[in-house]
Amino acid sequence: MIQKKQLLSVNYAIVNYEQASDHLIEKAKTRTSYGVSALAVHGLIESYWDRTLSEQVNKIPLVVADGQPIRWALNSIYGTGMKDRVYGPTLTLHVLEKANRDHLNVYLYGSTASTLKQFQAFIHKTYPNVHICGVHQDRFRDATAEEDLEDIEKINASGAHVVLVGRGCPRQEKWVADHLGKVNAMMMAVGAAFDFHAGTQKQAPKWMQDNGLEWFFRLTQEPKRLWKRYLTTNSTFVYLFLRQKFFA
């Protein structure tokens, strides 16, 4: 049984890459309707501020500690001894490697046409036994009830074992939560994986990732869009972490 610990409003699974990917592949092979979210600080704070979102995130059976600050906080409060985070793009590679071993069907849902094309090329080259059984470009809006039903029918008819969902946080978390019990596959909310593995967006150097500075790297890439997000979410996270650790 997977151990979970609550950080602010979210129940995080205490797992590593191997444990998480093995668990997810077992769900995928039986086409169990299942979900995972790799949730970093931004998603956690959004969930804390929005009770409805928090309820949706906690419907997802497996929420993993995407960011180093999440791992540090869990280790500090609970002594979990997690040696590394479970970063969404890296978890995606672990799942694709095992899907390649087992010749599984993968469906890509979200992102732009150009990113999807390059991501498909990456998967074909790196994991030749993975069958991409369907691709759906993001509408960048909520689907109508009729469109959503069509999407569900297409995914289920495709025989997908794994659905990679790249819609950005928190839209992808909402989508996965809302499609549990409807989509007969293991769904992964790992939006950044699409862009990173497609080569359309740069990843932070490993030393920055290991030291929890990925947010700073992204800020240097898109300062106008991200400065306010990181100013508010990072400072809020530090305050709420300290409050939970010392006063909860």
Mean pLDDT by 10 residues, the chain (248 residues): 95 98 98 97 95 97 96 97 96 98 98 96 98 97 96 98 96 98 97 91 80 76 72 91 91
- Give the pairing of strands 10-13 and 4-7: antiparallel
Question: In the prediction, which pLDDT does 220 show?
Answer: 80
Q: Which residues on neighbouring strands pair with residue 6, listed in sequence order?
A: 11
pLDDT score for 226? 65
pLDDT, residue 114, reads: 96
pLDDT in the model for residue 227: 65
pLDDT of the residue at 222: 76
Q: Quick check: helix, strand or coil at residue 80?
A: coil
Helix, strand, coil share (%) of the chain residues, nearest 5: 55, 15, 30
CA 225 to CA 205: how far, in whole Å? Answer: 21
End-to-end CA distance of the chain: 26
Cβ–Cβ under 8 Å, residues 187 and 36: yes
What's phi and psi for 9, nearest 5 deg? -105, 5
* Contact (Cβ atoms closer than 8 angstroms) between residue 237 and residue 212: no
In sequence order, what are the residues at sequence separation of 6 or more whose Cβ sits closer than 8 angstroms to the Cβ of residue 127? 96, 97, 99, 100
Among candidates 144, 182, 167, 94, which has minimal Cα distance to 84?
A: 94
Alpha carbon distance 237, 67 (integer Å): 12
pTM of the model: 0.93
